Amino acid sequence: MEDNIALELKDVSVAYGAEPTVRNVSMKFKKNQISALIGASGSGKSTLLRSINRMNDGLATVTGQILFHDVDINRPKVNVYKVRQEIGMVFQQPTPFPMSIYENVIYGLRLTGEKDRRVLDQRVEESLKHAALWDEVKDRLKASALSLSGGQQQRLCIARTLATKPEIILMDEPTSALDPISTTQIEATMMELKKDYTIIIVTHNMQQASRASDWTAFMHQGNLIEFNQTTEIFMNPHEQATNDYLNGKFG
Amino acid sequence: MDPQKSNRLATGVILCFAAIVSLIVLSLVLYLLATGLPHVSWHFLTSAASSFTAGGGIRDQLFNSFYLVILTLLVSVPLSLGAAIYLSEYAPKNRLTSILRLAIEVLSSLPSVVVGLFGYLVFVLQWKMDFSLLAGALALTIINLPLLTRSCETALSQVPFLQRQAGLGLGMAKWRVTTRIMVPAALPGIMTGAILSAGRIFGEAAALIYTAGQSSINVSYSNWNPFSPTSFLNPMRPAETLAVHIWKLNTEGLVPDATAVSAGAAAVLIIAILAFNLLARFVGGLVAKHFRQ
């Protein structure tokens, strides 16, 4: 695998029943870059994203190869729990657990058996700073995570994902439940995060893809139509379908 | 008829039905309290029942009722929670699990006297438990399981799907997501269900007549060794509960003040059940609030 590639999909198809929702997608995600998956509802972008860290296990059949560090993580024998710690996920809606802010952040870390208070404290601070939430919550780490605003909760969920030190962060429409100000904050956070992480984001908001991503993949009816640098996709799309979608002719 | 009029009429009819239901419940409770409360005194609550003379109390029966509820919950909460976790988190949708669900529903419609006789045959005779608190607790568990399983399952299924996903997304194993995220999040509902079921089994009589027995042996409330036959904590002793006591007073009561004692006991019983219901609301709200803060 080339050095600057974080993840490679080879011929990935996903089917919930007989009919595939995602068809033969092959693509390479570059390290320390933000890649956006765009497309209309039902284009298969979320399904594809959720297949990457095996969240579709038991829900859908995923075929093809998903190469991560030269290992096909789509094989049945792979430890999915390890995969999910290396490839974290942020969901459409904030999903804080009903416990304190501090406990939320170190929840994934506790799984690895880490008990040293100093390590935990340090990781909480580090993760919250990375997620740009530290200044707002540092004086009330013991408060319930549910007392935070929606935008803060989503950044907390990002911090929680960061605490397990993943390499890749998958974001499934992370701002769809948030107001514009919170959305801007999350996007700014993503820009900071790409220094250390590779981000793959699903969004139905084209402006968000054009603002925040380096690479954009356009999906249509389960097929990957076009995958290129974001500026290229938006300024000079090569495919007619991409052009039609970007111009609001469907979707 | 114009919409406004028909709406007013419909509202009136619905209000009427609601009023009838509340009136029946209220008048029953008030009647029980009005006839019973005058006989309730500290002496009544803290003295032993008498066999032939007037002036007996309900001390042992009252204690037995509470103790039996605790024993029953100790058995039925883990069982119900386990079954609910299986049904809501693990059970595949196939014929076996739908038979299981059906079995639980059938169990909930069994008459309690049938459960009592079943308990008599199996627990009392077959398993040689004799008339005992434990046999009573097992019989009550059979009555309690279906509704408690249902309320635990409902509580678990009301936890947002995304919470589950979030746990899995962090690399947690399914069992861990269940015990660390699902069950704590469902705890208010589970506790409310458990306490409400406590109120239900507190008033149960038919299932206990042939299992926990109709007699109370003299026990010592200072003997804390549960294995001693004279200890109040001994689960293998026969124990008449408040509800059974009321039934017995009304069928074969030999004391001259049977009516008064039974009325007093009924008042205490209904107050306890009301208390269980209020407690369920209070505790459920408290736990939910604790999680929000």
Helix (H/G/I), strand (E/B), else coil: B235: coil
We report the CATH number of the domain holding residue B115 as: 1.10.3720.10
Cα–Cα nearest to A33, from A230, A207, A236, A226: A230
Q: Which tokens belong to B193?
A: 């269900």
- Torsion sign (Cα): A227, A233, A236, A237: positive
Contact B187/A at CB under 8 A: no
To which residue do tokens 């008033």 refer? B203
pLDDT at position B27: 96
Report the distance separating Cα B278 and Cα B270, nearest Å: 12
Q: Which tokens belong to B174?
A: 């399914």
B27, B161: one domain: no
Phi, psi dihedrals of residue A87, rounded to the nearest 5°: -120, 95
Q: Which residues pair with A220 in a beta bridge?
A: A223
pLDDT at position B198: 92
The answer to whether A55 contacts B168, with C-beta atoms less than 8 Å apart, is yes
DSSP B37: G
B113, B144: one domain: yes
Flag whether A251 is in a domain: no
Angle (nearest 5°) at CA B119 between B114 and B125: 130
- Shortest Cα distance, chain B CAs vs residue A77, angstroms: 15
pLDDT at position A74: 94
pLDDT digits (tens, 9 = 90+) for A188-237: 999 999 999 999 999 988 899 999 999 999 999 999 999 999 999 999 99
The answer to whether A95 contacts B162, with C-beta atoms less than 8 Å apart, is yes
Report the distance separating Cα A79 and Cα A67, nearest Å: 14
We report the CATH number of the domain holding residue A121 as: 3.40.50.300
Angle (nearest 5°) at CA A109 between A70 and A100: 140
Nearest by CB to B166, from A53, A85, A91: name it. Answer: A91
Count of Cβ atoms closer than 10 Å to residue A234 Cβ: 18
**In contact, A202 and A172? CB cutoff 8 Å:** yes
Q: How many CB pairs lie under 8 A apart between chains A and B? A: 62
Flag whether A41 is in a domain: yes
Please provide the distance, in angstroms rounded to a whole number, between the alpha carbons at the two ends of chain B: 52
B74, B200: one domain: yes
| Mean per-residue pLDDT of chain B | 90
B105, B11: one domain: no
> Is pLDDT above 90 for B81?
yes
pLDDT digits (tens, 9 = 90+) for B10-39: 999 999 999 999 999 999 999 999 999 999
Cα–Cα nearest to A65, from A114, A10, A20: A10
B197, B76: one domain: yes
B23, B83: one domain: no
The answer to whether B163 contacts A160, with C-beta atoms less than 8 Å apart, is no
Q: Which tokens belong to B243?
A: 């509800």
> Is pLDDT above 60 for B243?
yes
B34, B65: one domain: no
The answer to whether B293 contacts A157, with C-beta atoms less than 8 Å apart, is no
B58, B141: one domain: yes
Provide the chain B residues 33-52 that lie in CB contact (below 8 A) with chain A: none
Q: Beginning with the edge strand found earlier in the chain, give each strand of the sheet holding A20-30 in spatial order.
A: A20-30, A5-15, A61-68, A71-72
Residue B1: partners with Cβ closer than 8 Å, 6 or more residues away:
B9
Enclosing domain of residue A70: 5-246
Which of B168, B170, B187 to mutate against chain A (most A CBs within 10 Å)?
B170
pLDDT at position A156: 95
The answer to whether B170 contacts A93, with C-beta atoms less than 8 Å apart, is no
Report the distance separating Cα A152 and Cα A140, nearest Å: 13
Report the distance separating Cα A53 and Cα A202, nearest Å: 14
DSSP B179-219: IIIIHHHHHHHHHHHHHHHHHHHHT--HHHHTTT-S-----
In chain B, the number of structural domains is 2
* Chain A environment of B181 (Cβ under 8 Å): 97
Enclosing domain of residue B18: 1-39
Q: List chain A pLDDT tens, one digit each, 251 residues.
A: 677 899 999 999 999 988 899 999 999 999 999 999 999 988 999 999 999 999 998 889 999 999 999 999 999 999 999 999 999 999 999 999 888 999 999 988 887 788 889 999 999 999 999 888 999 999 999 998 989 999 999 999 999 999 988 999 999 999 988 889 889 989 999 999 999 999 999 998 889 999 999 999 999 999 999 999 999 999 999 999 999 999 888 76
* Amino acid symbol at A195: K
Q: How far is CA A17 from the centre of its chain?
A: 25
Q: Which tokens belong to B126?
A: 């077959």
* Chain A environment of B185 (Cβ under 8 Å): 97-98
Flag whether A164 is in a domain: yes
DSSP chain A: --TTEEEEEEEEEEESSSSEEEEEEEEEEETT-EEEEE-STTSSHHHHHHHHTTTTTTTSEEEEEEEETTEETTSTTS-HHHHHHHEEEE-SS----SSBHHHHHHHHHHHTT---HHHHHHHHHHHHHHTT-HHHHTT-TTSBGGGS-HHHHHHHHHHHHHTT--SEEEEESTTTTS-HHHHHHHHHHHHHHTTT-EEEEE-S-HHHHHHH-SEEEEEETTEEEEEEEHHHHHHS-SSHHHHHHHTTS--
> Is pLDDT above 80 for B78?
yes
Q: The whole model's pTM is what? A: 0.81
In chain A, the number of structural domains is 1
Residue with the bigger pLDDT between B273 and B54: it is: B273
In this predicted complex, what is the ipTM?
0.83
Contact B16/A at CB under 8 A: no
Nearest by CB to A164, from B160, B163, B171: name it. Answer: B171
B16, B67: one domain: no
Q: Which tokens belong to B235?
A: 């689960």
B66, B30: one domain: no
B147, B7: one domain: no
Nearest residue on chain A to B164, alpha-carbon basis: A95
B93, B192: one domain: yes
Alpha helices in B87-231 (DSSP H): 95-108, 112-119, 133-157, 161-169, 174-176, 183-202, 206-209
> Is pLDDT above 70 for B293?
no
pLDDT at position A1: 61
Q: Which tokens belong to B39?
A: 């006989």
Cα–Cα nearest to A163, from A54, A88, A80: A88
Mean pLDDT along residues B150-173: 90
Mean pLDDT along residues B145-171: 91
pLDDT at position B126: 93
Cα–Cα nearest to B268, from B37, B20, B24: B37
pLDDT digits (tens, 9 = 90+) for B200-241: 899 999 999 999 988 877 888 888 888 888 888 988 999 999
pLDDT digits (tens, 9 = 90+) for B111-152: 999 999 999 999 999 999 999 999 999 999 999 999 999 999
**In contact, B239 and B64? CB cutoff 8 Å:** yes
Q: Which tokens belong to B35?
A: 């006839």
pLDDT at position B292: 63
pLDDT at position A98: 83
* Amino acid symbol at B258: A
**In contact, A79 and A140? CB cutoff 8 Å:** no
pLDDT digits (tens, 9 = 90+) for B95-113: 888 998 899 888 888 999 9
Count of Cβ atoms closer than 10 Å to residue B45 Cβ: 14
